[in-house]
Amino acid sequence: MVETDLWAFEKALQARGYTRIAGVDEAGRGPLAGPVVAAAVLLPPDFAVAGVNDSKQLTARRRDRLFDRIHAHALAVGIGIVEAPEIDRINILQAARKAMADAVAALDPVPDFLLIDGNCTIDRDLPQTALVKGDARSISVAAASIVAKVHRDRLMLAHHCRYPLFGFDRHKGYPTLAHKTAIARHGPCPLHRRSFRGVCGVRAPEQSPLPFADEIIAHGG
């Protein structure tokens, strides 16, 4: 079964004496807008929630259900968020690594080993291993991928209420045709990553046909 295979890394580490193994993953490297969000998840050895897998392989409804069950059964869940201005300042790779490090720092109890999705380790003084496609190979990383994805999607749904012109409720900031068309028509909003191709160099028109929602509030509309 897939669930049994996903425990292989955790079981190998437990055999070496590690007891608090956290999976770490991020969501949001590719979008043109919004933060990169990371999650660190510390599961108990008897975690038995079925269906946990790479978040990209799951429907949104299934992710939402698993998100709640992971939070209910995990020993600890940590979240790290790096917003667009800092992404522009330090680049998306370093922003993702920082978000993951912040997510690990938020864990209580402190893990004694980290399994990190991707090919880079992070700036935490803990034993750690980077796993390419770890969200499909480790139960802990898979759980972190679900938590990070759902947490970020919910943030983008909230942002849609402030910036409805861009359709964040539909594409969550990813570079769809509709999103790129909205950027070209209205110019970027404060959530956009100004260093990303498709945003860089795009200026707002002198008169946008519709103001952003926060501008309506600011002007008493």
Binding-site residue set = 25-26, 117
Give residues with Cβ within 8 angstroms of 72, minimum separation 6.
none
Chain centre to alpha carbon of residue 54: 13
Beta bridge partners of 41: 23, 77
Task: Please give the helix or strand (H or E) that residue 117 lies within, else none.
Answer: strand 113-117
Residues 6+ apart with CB under 8 A from 13: 21, 113, 115
The H-or-E segment that residue 20 falls in is none
List residues forming the annotated binding site for a divalent metal cation.
25-26, 117
Cis-peptide, bond into residue 109, ω within 30° of zero: yes
C-alpha angle with apex 89: 87 to 94, nearest 5 degrees? Answer: 55
Residue 108 CA to residue 20 CA, distance in Å, equals 10
The Cα 33–Cα 16 span in angstroms is 42
